[in-house]
Amino acid sequence: MDENQNTLQSALELHQEGSLDQAEPAYRKLLAVDPNNMQVRFLLGTCLLQLNRYDESISILEPLTEQPSAGPDVFNNLGIAYRATGNLEAAVSTFQQAIKSNPEYSQAYFNLGELLETGNALKEAAQCYRKALELTPTDHQAGAAFARVLTRMKNWADAENIYRQILSADPQNEEYLVQLAFVLASSKRVEEALEIYQDILSRKPDFAEIMGSVCYLYEKLGQFSEARRYAKQALDIKPDYAEGWNNLGSVALAEHQPDEAIQNFKKAAELVPELSIAHYNVATTQLLQEKYEAGWTGYEYRLNLTPTRFPQYAEGNWRGEAITGKRLVIIADQGFGDTIQFSRFLKRAKEMSQADITFLCHEPLVSLLAPSLKEVGPVVATIDNEPSFDYQLPLCSLPGLLGIHQPDKISQSGYVELPGSASVEVTTLVRELDTGLKKVGLVWRGNPEQDRDQLRSCPLEKLKPLFNLSGIQWVNLQIDEQSRTDLESLQSPARFLHAGHLVNDFRDTGWLLKQLDLVLSVDTAVAHLAGALGLPVWTMLCHTPDWRWRLTGEESTWYPQMRLIRQPAWSDWDSVIAQIAQELPTA
């Protein structure tokens, strides 16, 4: 073995044992003798990469990619260096070149998947992770990444399958067990998730974070004494556990103890000031109590809780000053119901700002809101072709900026004007309404993707007593076809007119609502729409509703003609339906 081979062997041994600072000069000594040695150049570039000297690594590896013999390892390591320097476009391209060089090179698929996941290209990331796992089925890192991105996509069934595959080889892995429990809880299999957490606690009884998760699930089940017990145990073990204080606050709020809840949420925020959910919970509990001045300030923390960055169309945010002639875009930053509710403040924003306002909102709301806001400015679903803006503001920040500190400062209902006509489908449907019967529109469930939907939606079978009432024509306003099948499966004597599948947007829905005698809805956008139109609406609420409905009373601050019908106890829809069944015939 000659001297160069000895030096290379020594350098490789140093490299493999992690002595990178010693391996580097050995590689450079070899290159001084043989500058064109591609193997040594690759090893040096890799060594520099592992030393976090990314620019130097790139300068060594880049020329190697031009060689016909360049293999996937060269492209893969160069891609890692590009990613570390923030050159993400080059990193994506280089990982793709690695795959092209060897379509069965699993590590490149994994690295490309990580990069795509970071950029929220979840579908593409999932495809990469899936391929990496197919190529190396025993790679638990690839499996966990695939399950993670499936979880982010809310593909609960596939995420569960992947986690169970991983756990079959490593059944006591706490990280994967916790993730599986989260997936089960998210797919409404709370009891199964609890079993996993309890199993972990049987082995680690002082695991405060798991106790916090158990508390959260018991609270969702309405078992507040158990939830409170686990929250307190977690805090006994770990008094500085901010999430534990936040959990205890949620339990107190569910028990209708808002002052205690605020105290606990504030404790969590003091322990971890960057815990945005704790600040947000303080704010929404204050809003629930109609302490608007304090609540609107903390309500801004909602913007930290969105999974994606809030869009930027202007350099600065509007602060409430007069900006005569400037271009201001106000952006709907939450769901349909929130947008309808908060759109009442846009005219005041126009008066205060004196700006040229564009309102950016969801496509299905444009035709509904545009007539009412013609004096404010255009209502659009996209702004791709718009000129640049001078200022921007999230819609739900308006009441704080406008100083809406007292309930009497909230504008009354009836602030949305409908166009004179609806779609042909809806106008045709209206001809089927029976003028001799009381016409009641019905919404019993909301968007299942909404975090609180399991609480706010009423199981259809609970409504059966209403369908035995005579003299009523029910109009199904659910937009999904499944609702029709579900109603027909009840085999009730009620008369149903199925409307939801015919409406094209909220203008159609609003026009239909005006033809009815009453709207009966859980807490959904349809309830907000009826309220904004000034129509009679009864809103069925869970025991601890969203902040805008307060904790007590039948009247709504936001919609004076709306009647609130509340669960007297957790999950008690039977009492709600019994009250409606008694009063609806004479309403």
- Residue finishing a domain among 255, 279, 304: 304
Per-residue model confidence (pLDDT) at position 359: 97
Indicate if 436 and 533 belong to the same structural domain.
yes
Per-residue model confidence (pLDDT) at position 351: 96
Instruction: Report whether 31 contacts 41 (CB < 8 A).
Output: yes
Per-residue model confidence (pLDDT) at position 385: 64
What is the rounded distance in angstroms from the CA atom of residue 171 to the CA atom of residue 6? 46
Crossing angle (nearest 10°) for helices 3-16 and 38-50 = 30
The number of folded domains in the chain is: 4
Helix (H, G, I), strand (E, B) or coil at 480: coil
- Residue finishing a domain among 348, 371, 405: 405
What is the rounded distance in angstroms from the CA atom of residue 254 to the CA atom of residue 239? 22
CATH number at residue 428: 3.40.50.2000
Indicate if 344 and 391 belong to the same structural domain.
yes
Indicate if 299 and 322 belong to the same structural domain.
no
The token duo for 66 is 């031009």
What DSSP string runs through 227-281? Answer: HHHHHHHHHHH-TT-HHHHHHHHHHHHHTT-HHHHHHHHHHHHHH-TT-HHHHHH
- Its pTM stands at 0.86
Indicate if 325 and 388 belong to the same structural domain.
yes
For the chain, 587 residues long, the average pLDDT of each consecutive 10-residue run is 73 88 89 88 92 94 91 94 95 95 95 94 96 95 96 95 95 95 93 96 96 94 94 97 97 97 98 98 98 97 84 90 96 96 97 96 96 95 81 97 91 84 88 92 87 85 95 94 89 88 90 96 97 97 96 95 96 97 93
CATH number at residue 322: 3.40.50
Tell me which DSSP letter residue 329 carries.
E
- Residue finishing a domain among 346, 370, 405: 405
Cβ-in-10-Å burial (0-12, 13-18, 19+) of 581 comes to: middle
Indicate if 320 and 294 belong to the same structural domain.
no
Indicate if 450 and 573 belong to the same structural domain.
yes
**For residue 90, what are the CA distances in angstroms to 54, 58, 67, 78, 83?**
14, 11, 18, 9, 8
Per-residue model confidence (pLDDT) at position 451: 72
Indicate if 74 and 130 belong to the same structural domain.
yes
Is residue 212 in a domain? yes
Amino acid at 332: A
Amino acid at 465: P
Per-residue model confidence (pLDDT) at position 387: 62
Is residue 193 in a domain? no
Is residue 483 in a domain? yes
Indicate if 140 and 62 belong to the same structural domain.
yes
* Residue 278: CA count within 13 A, CB half-sphere: 22
Q: How many CB atoms within 10 Å of residue 577?
A: 18
Per-residue model confidence (pLDDT) at position 495: 86
CATH number at residue 56: 1.25.40.10
Per-residue model confidence (pLDDT) at position 1: 44
Is residue 325 in a domain? yes
Indicate if 20 and 150 belong to the same structural domain.
yes
Is residue 189 in a domain? no
What is the rounded distance in angstroms from the CA atom of residue 214 to the CA atom of residue 196? 10
Domain assignment of residue 107, given as a range: 3-184
Is residue 545 in a domain? yes
